[in-house]
Amino acid sequence: MSIDDARDMLRKRITHRIMEVEEVELTAAAGRVCGEDITSPMDSPPHDRSAVDGYAVVAEDTFGASPTNPVELKLVGRIELGADPSFLPEIRRGEAVEVPTGGPIPPGANAVVPLEHARRAGDRVEVYEHVRPLQNISGRGEDYRRGDVVLRRGLLIKPWHIAALASLGFRSLRVLRRPRVAILSTGSELIEPGEEPAPGKVYNCTKPMLKVMLTSHGAEPIDLGAVPDDVKLISERISDGLRRADSVIVTGGTSVGERDLVPEVISKVGEIVAHGLAIRPGKPTGFAISSGKPIFMLSGFPVAALIGFQELVIPALELMLGCRFDPPPRIRGRLTRRIASPPGIRTYARVRVFKSGDGEISIEPLRVTGSGILSTLTRGNGLLVIPEELEGFDEGSEVEVILLSPILEGDEM
Amino acid sequence: MSIDDARDMLRKRITHRIMEVEEVELTAAAGRVCGEDITSPMDSPPHDRSAVDGYAVVAEDTFGASPTNPVELKLVGRIELGADPSFLPEIRRGEAVEVPTGGPIPPGANAVVPLEHARRAGDRVEVYEHVRPLQNISGRGEDYRRGDVVLRRGLLIKPWHIAALASLGFRSLRVLRRPRVAILSTGSELIEPGEEPAPGKVYNCTKPMLKVMLTSHGAEPIDLGAVPDDVKLISERISDGLRRADSVIVTGGTSVGERDLVPEVISKVGEIVAHGLAIRPGKPTGFAISSGKPIFMLSGFPVAALIGFQELVIPALELMLGCRFDPPPRIRGRLTRRIASPPGIRTYARVRVFKSGDGEISIEPLRVTGSGILSTLTRGNGLLVIPEELEGFDEGSEVEVILLSPILEGDEM
């Protein structure tokens, strides 16, 4: 099954949704998902205000003004930021009032001449360029009118969204609760970091990576521990995970080989929808559905697990939250050598993206044997996706890659 | 002064560096900056292992194998993941042992035939394609040799870096301490969210945005409060900030106009290097240096402050930490209408990036009056940078924009 078909099936089959909201202090809302449509409680700005530092005037007075034929106005005062708009001096024809950016527009004025288009001489102002009525004025409610929708439910909250809410007086925001994702590691070969190394055993490195990726997508990882290749233990832990979490990720034991313990167990608690994908690395990747919740089978090998997470788990989180996460940064560059991919398979090749002496972006495919090789993600800093219909790219081709870490300089590692 | 020149000056003049390291648990290291070169304490993998599910063989036995002329080998066993490599059966010519991905290679074998290139029939294995010596084997130390540098000081830690460290048995990492950045809001017009609205007053919305942007770049914001336009108060708070933090941001009061309180005060505690930049919005943006630490003057208006943060504060953090942050995601699309920019000014236009019915990416410039208009960052989702040497872009031009939030669909808001 292609990864695109698998993702389509995933989107169709997940019916579980995160509905509960919780109220958090405004600055804690960044990276969370907006839990309801937020409407403005007020007009913003609450009064007409200046969009520039300048002179509030009657626009008609400035018509015909030019550097060679300036219009002279009488400066009758200055408005301070924060001044009460109810107590401003009224402006008459032939008069001007100095006003800072954001300052209220006094009654009678209908435009603001920017400082750089005027010159002050004592209590007179020479205007060198005309302004149209309403020019350089942010009208009351121009930003938001009372009742306007400011943020939609499902929006991933960014710093500037927090600024918008703060500008309207909000101190907190109702956000969707974090999705809970339980992670179970399987494999008799696993030991935990900190344990003594033992012959044949390998450190469980995929789980800490997945935990961090979940956290950085606003989810709460639940650690179901690590179990050996034992049907009963795996089964109990998965059931426990389904009770406590919105989704379960099982790593390891998913080879499309002889001892497919994990798929065997999962098929008893849910329906396996995809297992064995036309991707490299990550062929044993798959998922099942249980009561509308997804159970992911990811490789125990970190590079393959990373691909499975990006291609399946992130879309599942988006669906359950009704949100969209940011796409990863991408960059175009030129391949330093040919790279091959089997036809019909989508290959995620690890590459090194660097700037050559001439400033050109070069993309160097890294040689690997297997998805257990992590150094391709520490020496390398990008992923080149080779689509199913291509058998690779030639040396010198211009390709676009997903940038995992910033571009390197020359021979920097 | 152009923003590029200002940034160059900033890089030259900041001499303050964050040197202190602190040890954090591995999963807490994501988003932090690696505090020292990390070398591998072991060979990884610690023994030769299989890169595929398949059969460990003597490569020479498979020479000449083809689908029509398979080579038949005797299956003499199966190796489990986690098996002790010191107690494996030795393989002789004509024999094969089943081995899972990651499993140790038994003595005598020098290659692995993938499952899909072989067929098992009882205790015999038919091999349909030859393998070269060492093919599908990850040799001992292929990922990391003992003593290899795994991560460099200054690297921004990503989830896969954590996987690499975990695979080598690390449980913690020494990271640079978070940079401390003090923020002072100035302006007699400011009230804090939660306070009663009052005529002429505006909610301080720039500070919570800056706090969140600092946090998301691994920095620790220190809130110096908000002060009215008062020389003594501003001066005291900035000096306090310089004592407690690696950098100070002052917002508001920076207009290149009559009452330049903030630059006046800052010029007494440091040297103003740039003030008044050829950018829009954000002209009053600038910075000073005090004992090698940067003091930023940012607009009190959130959109202009956002630009100043991205263009100056982020590079300063990178310099003090010796790291590089990820570039923001960018996307190309077609302008729905002409957009103008004054010559010699770099304009950061707020745009709406959306997918039209035909799947094309469209970029719609949003009409604005002034940098106080926040709805351009809630209705819009992108920034189009118009360089100094252009006077704008024509309708239909293909342009690249910085994506602030994911692409919208059609008329979605």
Per-residue pLDDT tens digits for B181-238: 999 999 888 998 888 888 889 999 999 999 999 999 999 999 999 998 888 999 999 9
> By the CB < 8 Å criterion, does A166 face chain B?
yes
The answer to whether B372 touches A44, Cβ cutoff 8 Å, is no
Domain B3-16+179-321, CATH: 3.40.980.10
What's the pLDDT score for residue A413? 61
Of A306-315, B288-297, B298-307, B363-372, minimum mean pLDDT range: B363-372
B3-16+179-321 and B49-138 agree in CATH topology: no
Q: What is the pLDDT of residue B338?
A: 96
Q: Which CATH class is domain A330-409?
A: mainly beta
Q: Mean per-residue pLDDT for B360-379? A: 85
Burial class (CB in 10 A: 0-12, 13-18, 19+), B218: buried
The verdict on domain B49-138 having CATH code 2.170.190.11 is yes
Reply yes or no on whether the pLDDT at B254 is more than 70.
no
Name the closest residue on chain A to residue B116, using Cα atoms.
A257
- Taking an 8 Å cut-off on Cβ atoms, the answer to whether A193 and B201 are in contact is no
Maximum alpha-carbon separation in chain A: 92
Cβ of residue A146 closer than 8 Å to a chain B Cβ? no
Q: What is the pLDDT of residues A363-413, one digit of tens each?
A: 999 987 666 688 989 999 999 999 999 999 999 999 999 999 999 987 666
Least CB–CB distance from B374: residue in A46, A167, A258: A167
Q: For all residues of chain B together, what is the average pLDDT?
A: 93
Q: Output the pLDDT for position A75.
A: 96
Cross-chain residue pair B200–A83, CB shorter than 8 Å: yes
Domain B21-43+147-176 in CATH 3.90.1150.10? The answer is no
Model confidence at B369: pLDDT above 70: no
* A326 close to B (CB below 8 A): yes
Q: How large a percentage of chain B has pLDDT more than 90?
A: 81
- What residue spans define the domains of chain B? 3-16+179-321, 21-43+147-176, 49-138, 330-409
Give the list of residues 6+ apart from residue B87 with CB closer than 8 angstroms, or none. none
B56-86 pLDDT per residue, tens? 999 999 999 999 999 999 999 999 888 888 8
Contacts of A406 in chain B (CB under 8 A): 156, 324-327
Model pLDDT, residue A11: 97
Report the amino acid identity of residue B365.
P
Rounded CA-CA distance A411/A57 in Å is 61
Contact A51 B170 (CB under 8 A): no
The whole-number pLDDT of residue A371 equals 65
The predicted model gives B243-257 an average pLDDT of 83
Q: What is the pLDDT of residues B325-351, one digit of tens each?
A: 999 999 999 999 999 999 999 999 999
Mean pLDDT of successive 10-residue stretches along chain A, which has 413 residues: 97 98 97 97 92 94 95 93 86 94 92 94 95 94 94 97 96 98 93 87 95 97 93 94 98 66 91 95 94 96 95 98 94 95 95 91 85 84 96 96 91 66
Contact A81 B144 (CB under 8 A): no
Averaged confidence pLDDT in chain A: 93
Which residues are paired to A407 by β-bridges?
Answer: none
A209 touches chain B (CB under 8 A): yes
Instruction: Say what the alpha-carbon torsion angle A32, A37, A38, A41 is, to the nearest 10 degrees.
Output: -170
Q: B48-86 burial, b if ≥16 CB within 10 A, otherwise e? A: bbbbbbbbbbbbebbeebeeeebbebebbeebbbbbebe
- Residue numbers in B near A85 (CB within 8 A): 199-200
* CATH code of the region A21-44+149-176: 3.90.105.10
Task: Identify all chain B residues contacting A189, using CB atoms and an 8 Å cutoff.
Answer: 80-83, 102
Give the model confidence (pLDDT) of B122-172 as tens digits: 999 999 999 999 999 999 999 999 999 999 999 999 999 999 999 999 999
Return residues 212-271 of B near A (CB < 8 Å): 212-213, 215-216, 229, 255-259
Q: Which CATH entry fits the domain spanning A3-16+178-321: 3.30.200.20, 3.40.50.300, 3.40.980.10, 2.60.120.460?
A: 3.40.980.10
Task: Count chain A–chain B contacts defined by CB atoms under 8 A.
Answer: 321
Residue B256, pLDDT score: 45
pTM of the model: 0.94
